[in-house]
Structure 1
């Protein structure tokens, strides 16, 4: 489905799922506004898109309110509207028992994984409601950790459960304004962030097992499909994972 004339804002677009999604949307004809902290890596993403001239790069941090406000102002100034926000930026923390996680570590992951998506969602709402035709779509990068935790991942698990709440609240509050919201929960797409799981991940029974991964392109293709749906159609939750992922009956 063609994305000609449509504009997507992607956070965390400098690598991994964000980069793959940017390339896939660009190949489908979308114009892009790419946001991340690492300017050089953003440039690498732009260079891999088929129409680099239809890609705007904005350097910044999702935890910085003024930077997020500036991101959406820049998007509208360049392209005139926004049709899609992909809240993709996120971090994890080193595995540790709950009682060994510092307040600084916990607050940092909350700021990136939950406050950042809130700020971006808030600013997207303002644009979606003001533009003509009004409306838009938000896709949040959740995790299967939003439904079943890993051992020693308290901060990550808590924030991804928070994203699930943000997704549902966004879908509800957006209903009257032609704004829809999806959470995509991904089980070990093969990216740098998930690479360690292919070497061995701690399981709830105390064993360490190699977990399956799959090509991140399949995540990007799924997002392109959801993004291309009409706004009267909502995919509230979308789970995509390796077939051998220990999630159903995780044990």
Structure 2
């Protein structure tokens, strides 16, 4: 077990989190899977290459005590931590004048506050362990750069995550802690699959968009995770080739 690297994946119950868990497991990682839906987490575990190297922790990234418990259990079970993939997130849209404060705060709590809490706890572990250091990967979005129409809460949080990614990388240098943001466009997950049926564009048209297999995202996460800590990809974009992003709108 001493030579096995250890990862935490939030939002591991489906989609990008599940795909990343499968890819990291194939690469030999031990993984703590974290999300709210226990049954779905167990399903993710069963799909991994080495289920005996998987720890399932049910919880909520917006709950501070739950996040603290996640890191405590992971270190107790595996002995150390090498990677946290801050993947948990939700999307909410609509004209801004119709959005409730409750909905805006929900998106902020999951996408931004959850990333903060997990990053804070990861840095504590990375600084305290021997050898010191570790890697953080944040799930950004191409919306961290270019928004879709009617996406203010999601877009705002993803811009903020980019700022947190840069700050984490800068502040972590002297502790051998690095940070990457993966910006994903049109992976075929439950959250995004509706784009294939048609989604409004900046010019008001509704257009069906090309999607890509989510496995490619998981493989990219595993690649970044496998880099030595003296190498950083600050941001990496992976998207369906023909989706509207370059020249969007």
- Tell whether the 8 Å contact from 1:4 to 1:28 is kept in structure 2 after alignment: no
> Residue by residue, what CA displacement relative to the aligned partner does 1:33-86 show, whole Å, maximum 9, x if unpaired?
000000000000001112111100000000000000000000000000000000
After TM superposition, give the deviation of residue 235 of structure 1 in Å.
0.3
Of the three residues 194, 197, 210, the one matched with 1:196 is 194
User: Normalising to structure 2: TM-score of the pair?
Assistant: 0.98
- Tell whether the 8 Å contact from 1:20 to 1:220 is kept in structure 2 after alignment: yes
Stretches (4+) displaced over 2 A: none
In structure 1, stretches of 5+ residues that fail to align are none
Using the alignment, how far apart are the partners of 2:35 and 2:90 within structure 1?
13
After TM superposition, give the deviation of residue 20 of structure 1 in Å.
0.6
Using the alignment, how far apart are the partners of 2:192 and 2:179 within structure 1?
25
- Tell whether the 8 Å contact from 1:4 to 1:29 is kept in structure 2 after alignment: no
Using the alignment, how far apart are the partners of 1:4 and 1:139 within structure 2?
21
After TM superposition, give the deviation of residue 189 of structure 1 in Å.
0.6
Q: What is the SS of the residue equivalent to 2:236?
A: strand
State the superposition RMSD in angstroms. 0.9
Using the alignment, how far apart are the partners of 1:82 and 1:54 within structure 2?
13
- The residue that corresponds to 1:136 in the other structure is 134
Using the alignment, how far apart are the partners of 2:3 and 2:242 within structure 1?
37
* 1:46 aligned onto 2:45: yes
- The residue that corresponds to 1:56 in the other structure is 55
After TM superposition, give the deviation of residue 236 of structure 1 in Å.
0.1
User: Normalising to structure 1: TM-score of the pair?
Assistant: 0.98
Using the alignment, how far apart are the partners of 2:5 and 2:109 within structure 1?
29
- The residue that corresponds to 2:235 in the other structure is 237
Using the alignment, how far apart are the partners of 1:109 and 1:165 within structure 2?
17
> Residue by residue, what CA displacement relative to the aligned partner does 1:102-147 show, whole Å, maximum 9, x if unpaired?
1000000000000000000000000000000010000000000000
Q: What is the SS of the residue equivalent to 1:219?
A: helix
Using the alignment, how far apart are the partners of 2:78 and 2:167 within structure 1?
28
Q: What is the SS of the residue equivalent to 1:138?
A: strand
- Tell whether the 8 Å contact from 1:200 to 1:209 is kept in structure 2 after alignment: yes
Using the alignment, how far apart are the partners of 2:84 and 2:53 within structure 1?
16
